Amino acid sequence: MHERDRNNTQSADRDAVIIRASMIGIAVNMVLAGVKAAVGLASHSIAVVLDAVNNLSDALSSVITILGAKLSGKQPDKKHPMGYGRVEYLSATVVAALVIYAGIAALYESAVRIIIPETSEYTAVSVIMIGLAVAVKLLLGRYVKRRGEAVGSDSLRASGTDALSDAVLSASVLACALIKTLTRISLEAYIGVIISVFIIRSGVGIIRETISEIIGQRTDTELSQKVKELICQEDGVFGAYDLFLNNYGPDRYYGSVNIEVADSATAAQIDQMSRHIKGRVYWKAGVTLTGIGIYSRNTTDAEAVRLREEIEKSVMSRNEVLQVYGFDISADMQEIQFYVVFDFGLDYKTELAKITEYLETLYPKIRFRLAPHVDISD
């Protein structure tokens, strides 16, 4: 099978797994919500009712997530040439808003029940039903999380983890029911407050993650390293630098990179390198490189090679420096330019001045022109 066809098949299979697991989650959560609501209303337990609301919000979240995934899969068009991938971030924001609203409403109801207590009564059947609900939620959480790990889906992994957390909350509701049945001590309203806080916390976490994605996060280390490794597999490429990836939705990246090649490479050779690199990175990493810049490395002058290696080693010995590259040594070796990568939080101008002064002390006959670059990817 052609690599492109294999990738398309894998992508379709991945989407099918995500949708199937989400649909199962929706069905299970709807059933649990109905059962818990019935038990909660019959026993006058606010904790059980709020646990049902939590299950209902999980089901609604999955529905919106699926709709967002479907919309984000629309093909790019003239108005949106980068596609609709970021729709998923908007759907996540809607989910978060619904979750937070449910949490605040639950918190209010729990507080009212603390101030104005209402007697709850559990039957053996209701306790058994709550216990079965805990077991089902644990199984659902493990299933969804395993499916997410199998296809590399962060959303499914998060849903699975959330379901396991919900199972713990449901277990606390079960404990309340048992305590009430055995000792007549009522803790439902207080457990309701705890559940409400967990619901609100979940919604805030979704919003924080979504805002972080919209603002622009650091590229995943595994992805950036994979892209650079693929680039460096090309014959004649000495290194890949300044990898910058723009995220236009989950698993949809467009970016640029600079590569270092021999100063003797011709335009035709560099053109072929660029074409090979773009194809390899797209089909094997799913990243579209829209631009590839060039740094030339002196490979013909032995003295220039020695000088570059010596300076690179000297600068890299400084703790504040993460990387140096892009050396340009003039023909008379009177001027040297290169880039220095610093960690965030440093004053680049001050650090560059220190390094320049240090180098000019070691090589007084050479003029150094240093430029800072940001540590944008691993």
Instruction: Give the least confident one: 98-102, 144-148, 175-179, 330-334.
Output: 98-102
- When pLDDT is averaged across residues 281-310 and rounded to a whole number, the result is 92
**Cβ-contact 363, 375 below 8 angstroms:** no
SS3 289: strand
pLDDT given for residue 250 in this prediction:
64
Reported pTM:
0.68
Q: Provide the percentage of residues in the chain whose pLDDT is more than 70.
A: 92
pLDDT given for residue 152 in this prediction:
64
- Lookup: tokens for 28: 């299970």
Question: Which band of pLDDT confidence, cut at 50, 70 and 90, is reported for residue 312?
Answer: very high
What pLDDT digit, counting tens, does each position of 172-230 carry? 777 877 887 787 777 777 877 887 787 788 778 878 877 887 787 788 889 999 999 99
Q: Which amino acid is it at 282?
A: Y
Axis crossing angle, helix 46-72 with helix 124-151, rounded to the nearest 10 = 20
pLDDT given for residue 308 in this prediction:
92
Question: Which band of pLDDT confidence, cut at 50, 70 and 90, is reported for residue 11?
Answer: low
Question: Which band of pLDDT confidence, cut at 50, 70 and 90, is reported for residue 1?
Answer: very low
CATH of domain 221-374: 3.30.70.1350
Regarding predicted confidence, which is higher, 228 or 115?
228
Query: Is it the case that residue 350 has pLDDT exceeding 60?
Result: yes
What letter would DSSP give residue 264? T
What number of residues does the chain have? 378
Q: Can you name the residues that pair with 321 across neighbouring β-strands?
A: 342
Regarding predicted confidence, which is higher, 364 or 52?
364
- Residue of 173, 177, 193 whose CA lies nearest to 185: 177
Question: Which band of pLDDT confidence, cut at 50, 70 and 90, is reported for residue 283?
Answer: very high
Unique residue bearing structure tokens 């590229």: 219
- Residue of 176, 188, 197 whose CA lies nearest to 131: 176
pLDDT given for residue 310 in this prediction:
93
Regarding predicted confidence, which is higher, 342 or 7?
342
Q: Provide the percentage of residues in the chain whose pLDDT is more than 90.
A: 32
- Residue of 73, 74, 54, 66 whose CA lies nearest to 94: 66
- Residue of 370, 305, 309 whose CA lies nearest to 342: 370
**Cβ-contact 185, 207 below 8 angstroms:** no
CATH of domain 3-215: 1.20.1510.10
Angle among Cα 147, 148, 153 to the nearest 5 degrees reads 145
SS3 227: helix
Domain ranges across the chain: 3-215, 221-374
pLDDT given for residue 10 in this prediction:
54
pLDDT given for residue 62 in this prediction:
75
